[in-house]
Amino acid sequence: MSSLNLDDFTDLIERPAGGVRRGAEERRARQILPPGSLGRLDELGEWLSAAQSAVPVRSVERPRVVLFAGDHGVAELGVSARPAGGAAALVRSVLAGESPVAVLARRMDVPVRIVDMALDCDPAELPAEVAGHRVRRGSGRIDIEDALSAEEAERAVRAGMAVADEEADSGTDLVVLGDVSVGGTTPAATLIAALCGTDASVVTGRGGEAIDDLAWMRKCAAVRDALRRARPVLGDQLELLAAVGGADLAAMTGFLLQCAVRRTPVILDGVVASAAALVAQRVAFRAPDWWLAGHDSGEPAQAKALDRMALEPLLNHGVKVGEGAGALLALPLVRAAAALSAELPERAAAAEAQPEESVGEQSAEQPAE
């Protein structure tokens, strides 16, 4: 029997400070631009202020991209445009600075951390800081077998929690969360379909590198078969992750829950991060208050999950590449919201700062008696 009780998170997670958010709204009402004139930037600034418990809001100085990596056995069915077991090559591309997220992170001066949970390669091929939390080599084929054992699922969730603590302790003030996986959108779609009570065809998309019709039908069939295995364990989220999730998804779930405990805001990337978030929401209903949806990846399962969590994507640019790239593109928007919220002057202060010369010019224009 597992010694990890996910129900404890319900009591451990608190909402962002409501009183602080009201203070941020009142401060915004006093600024020189009318409230609402900045659109969603107003909402973002107030959300971040509440997450930080600070008015005015502090700028985001130490963000980090955190990517959980793993291979999924279901990729053997040809449900992905990438070769089964190929996630390690994607990880090496990120580490070499050659992937989209690496290029964007370099331009934005944001560090990237990769956590290997279940890559199908020798861990000695990777840097020790990447492979240090690995649970197993590849996750099981979820259409016919469990992705993880119960013990592996617990280890993966605990690993995600540990990474969240490490980030909070190191001073990370916002996380961009993504995955590096092959086959990961299939268990993600399965988890979302199971938790939303929908059929396989409703949630099955074509992945980051669009698959053809035959591959899509194979993917639908895999999700359908996995759903049959998921429904009996819907009442236990740890069992659900073991049955049809994977080590990366389980770790992301633990990471998101512990980030909420540690009051660390998170920008979610695509469908895999959204699936882990939906599982985490089922564990602790207040947890989504600490997350933003970075972008709409176009995956139908992601749209279902975000709708269930009442999260509206910040961007809709059709970015499907995964690896946190779409969510990272939303970071400048969050930083802009913080800057405007903190630096726009209040009306009274602006009036007091009016140059004396303009007063003199007005006096000079008065007719002489």
Q: Alpha helices, DSSP H only, in the chain?
A: 8-12, 18-30, 40-52, 87-95, 100-108, 128-131, 150-169, 185-196, 200-203, 213-230, 237-244, 247-261, 271-283, 300-309, 325-343, 347-352, 356-364
- Whole-number Å distance between alpha carbons of 205 and 302: 9
**Two tokens at 36?**
């609402």
Give the gyration radius of the chain's Cα atoms. 23
Of the residues 323, 343, 346, 357, only one is catalytic, namely 323
**Which strands, in side-by-side order, build the sheet including 291-293?**
112-118, 63-71, 174-182, 266-268, 291-293
| 38 phi and psi angles, rounded to 5 deg | -95, 10
CA-to-CA separations, 30 to 34, 35, 135, 150, 339, in angstroms, rounded: 8, 9, 52, 54, 16
Active site residue 323: yes
What residues are paired with 266 via a beta bridge? 175, 291
- Whole-number Å distance between alpha carbons of 54 and 32: 20
Catalytic residues: 323
